[in-house]
């Protein structure tokens, strides 16, 4: 399985003459990961991740593959949303018609059904994308609080870090509720 097929070509995205550090930072951004959370995700020391991102040292190929795979999920969802949006616009503008070989009234009904199906798919994809981003925001906020509890921290999380975690947790729960609502509709045959 090649996760890269869902990502824009890294060299094209960051320009000619890119370094491995540029590629690594691009993948972190595409995967919606900070250096800290990427280090935790990959099981490497945070200093090692900072070193790689600064261009001092070379990340192993396994690290790059793991980040490519992680980045492919949101990139794939975005590509599906964009493709569906293009198709929706084409149908609405009359550039795609006759979604069946039946009479005109059947063709119109088929076009309307396809529009509805594509809009629902995009709603599903956007809900999953929101859930993914909210999950990672929540994880990042939790890591921030944990850093304050650890021995090198003060032992007590700051009010700002608690507020960020609460906001991130609230966003995550709302995204979960939206995904659950859509899943319930799918189970009930309403989609």
pLDDT digit string, tens, across residues 15-32: 556 889 999 999 998 888
Residues 2, 72: one domain? yes
> And the tokens for 45?
């020391």
The number of distinct structural domains making up the chain is: 2
> And the tokens for 154?
């003060």
In a domain, 103, yes or no: no
User: How far, in Å, CA of 16 to CA of 21, rounded?
Assistant: 13
Taking residues 146-164, what's their average pLDDT?
84
The CATH number linked to 36 is 1.10.260
Residue 71 CA, chain-centre distance (Å), reads: 7
List the one residue out of 182, 179, 174 whose CA is nearest residue 138: 174
Residues 11, 87: one domain? yes
List the one residue out of 3, 57, 45 whose CA is nearest residue 24: 57
Domain containing residue 135: 122-191
Query: For residues 167 and 134, is the Cβ–Cβ distance under 8 A?
Result: no
Query: For residues 35 and 53, is the Cβ–Cβ distance under 8 A?
Result: yes
The whole-model pTM stands at 0.71
User: How far, in Å, CA of 128 to CA of 162, rounded?
Assistant: 25
| pLDDT above 50 (res 10) | no
In a domain, 107, yes or no: no
| pLDDT above 90 (res 89) | yes
Residues 186, 147: one domain? yes
- Quickly list DSSP for 107-124: HHHHHHHHHHHHHHHHHH
pLDDT band at 12, cuts 50/70/90?
very low
pLDDT band at 41, cuts 50/70/90?
confident
Taking residues 116-124, what's their average pLDDT?
96
Instruction: Give the end of a domain, one of 36, 62, 96.
Output: 96
Residues 71, 161: one domain? no
Residues 76, 14: one domain? yes
In a domain, 110, yes or no: no
């Amino acid at each position: 399985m090649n996760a890269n097929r869902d990502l824009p070509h890294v060299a094209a995205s960051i320009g000619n003459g890119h370094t491995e550090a540029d590629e690594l930072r691009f993948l972190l951004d595409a995967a919606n990961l900070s250096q800290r959370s990427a280090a935790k995700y990959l099981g490497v020391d945070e200093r090692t991740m900072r070193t790689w991102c600064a261009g001092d040292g070379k990340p192993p190929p396994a690290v790059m593959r793991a980040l490519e795979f992680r980045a492919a999920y949101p990139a794939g969802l975005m590509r599906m949303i964009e493709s569906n949006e293009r198709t929706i616009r084409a149908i609405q503008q009359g550039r795609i018609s006759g979604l069946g070989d039946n009479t005109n009234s059947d063709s119109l009904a088929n076009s309307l059904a396809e529009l509805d199906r594509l809009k629902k798919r995009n709603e599903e994809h956007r809900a999953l994308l929101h859930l993914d981003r909210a999950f990672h925001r929540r994880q990042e906020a939790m890591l921030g609080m944990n850093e304050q509890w650890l021995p090198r921290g003060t032992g007590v999380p700051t009010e700002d870090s608690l507020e960020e975690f609460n906001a991130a947790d609230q966003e995550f729960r709302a995204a979960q509720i939206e995904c659950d609502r859509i899943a319930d509709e799918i189970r009930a045959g309403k989609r």
